[in-house]
Amino acid sequence: MGRLDRCYNIADLRLQAKKFLPKGVFEYVDRGAEDEVAVVENRDAFKRIKLRTRFMVDLTKRDMGTTIFGKRWSFPYAVSPTGTTGLLWYQGEIALARACGAHGVPFTLGTNAITSVDDVMRAVPDANIWFQLYMWTEEENSYALVKRARDAGCQVLVVTIDGALGNNREYNKRNGFNVPFSLSPRSAYDMLSHPRWFVGVLGRYVANGGMPRHENYPEKYRHRITTKTTGNPMRHQSMTWTDIAKLRDIWRGPIVVKGILRPEDAEAAIAHGADGIVVSNHGGRALDAAAPTIDMLPEIAAAVNRRATILLDSGIRRGGDIVKALALGADAVMAGRPTLFGIGAGGQAGGEKALAIMHREFEKTMAYVGCRTIAEVSPDVLAYPPRGYARAMAAE
């Protein structure tokens, strides 16, 4: 029995990834900002929500799929953008895109990816690939990247708005996991203590062209991750809603704004051309005092009132969490860590394992609450209103 065969849930995949990856790489994926309060509370908020079962329902004909932005998904789950997938496995972005393609769900490639958008699209041409954008101060570089993703064939543009000021993750500094990498005796020992990763990931990059780079950056900023330089693109700190309107002029397909925690921000996004929003606190990796997203969802869903697609991000670890999000107004969820743990545990096969686990758990929970399709999910499946629900109902 292989190590993936012994993984029965996302927590098991996490432990396998922890064994395979150097501490610096693993903690970058696993941990959050500052005291990591937001990471814990994202999970606790889901755990507080309880569901009511419904039995004696004919479940022989079940359909867990949905159609969003004109594309059929096997279940209401998309993979969030993450910047380190290519350091968890050799060409990890391609491995995860293939896993998503095999399971019929969208994969979102990040601005900070190791593999270029062109290479991902060439490797997985038939998958539902989205592209995530961090706006840079040099706006023309951002617009050029958007056009590059558009011309490569990406189908949805996800604009992240909650990252302009960076983050405060002290453990990255302690582990030497910064860009550029800080090679110290401690970090070197950490990498050498994980020989399968050192040879199978870092070694393969070196053997096939050198140390990894952020391949979606402008050419002048595509430095090796070990290169000491101050020349990196700066995040746009003066971004406003008019920037979404500008992107609308460039991007032909749907635009999704990620990082919404206020109903008025959701309404502003829609007013400036967004087709969807992601209710997200960056997985607890940005503002440590940020409210749990599932608590904010009902009020935001009431304000949107089906004028745009709503995705819920941050804290999702179980298929049952998807049902809770749907019941509170989301059309689907996005999650990054579950499939990152899968990729870190076993590459494409691990990514597929993570998606299979989430799909199976989602379908079982749907059966327990008596729902055969996602159209049947409503607040009625909730045992009692969660935080934020009463305020949302009063606002309607």
As beta bridge partners, residue 332 has 311
* Residue of 236, 272, 282, 359 marked catalytic: 282
Instruction: Indicate whether 186 belongs to any domain.
Output: no
Q: How far is it, in rounded angstroms, from Cα 30 to Cα 287?
A: 16
386 in a domain, yes or no? no
Residue 199 lies in a domain: no
Task: For residue 366, tell me if it sits in a domain.
Answer: no
Q: Is residue 61 part of a domain?
A: no
Residue 36 resides in a domain: yes
Asked if residues 128 and 108 have their Cβ atoms less than 8 Å apart, the reply is no
Q: pLDDT 10s per residue in the chain (396 long)?
A: 588 999 999 999 999 999 999 998 999 999 988 889 999 999 999 999 999 999 999 999 999 999 999 999 999 999 999 888 999 999 999 999 999 999 999 999 999 999 999 999 999 999 999 999 999 888 999 999 999 999 999 999 999 998 777 677 777 777 766 666 666 777 788 888 999 999 999 999 999 988 888 888 888 888 777 766 655 666 667 788 999 999 999 999 999 999 999 999 999 999 999 999 999 999 888 898 999 999 999 999 999 999 999 999 999 999 999 999 999 999 999 999 999 999 999 999 999 999 999 999 999 999 999 999 999 999 999 997 766 666 666 655
Number of domains forming the structure of the chain: 1
Task: For residue 131, tell me if it sits in a domain.
Answer: yes
Evaluate whether residue 87 is within a structural domain: yes
Give the integer Cα–Cα distance in Å for 256 and 278: 7
CATH of the domain at 90: 3.20.20.70
pTM (two decimals): 0.93
282 is annotated as an active-site residue: yes
CA 145 to chain centre: 20
Residue 264: C-alpha distances to residues 38, 195, 300, 386, 390 (Å) = 22, 50, 8, 21, 18
Sign of CA dihedral 166, 172, 174, 178: negative
CA 157 to chain CA centroid, Å, is: 13
Residue that has been written with the tokens 């049952």 in this structure:
320
pLDDT at 72: 97
- Is 6 exposed, middle or buried, given 0-12, 13-18 or 19+ CB atoms closer than 10 A? exposed
Which is it for strands 77-79 and 129-133: parallel, antiparallel or unpaired? unpaired
Q: H-helix or E-strand containing 67?
A: strand 66-68
* Structure tokens belonging to residue 196: 């399968």
Residue 283: which domain range?
Answer: 21-46+75-170+231-340
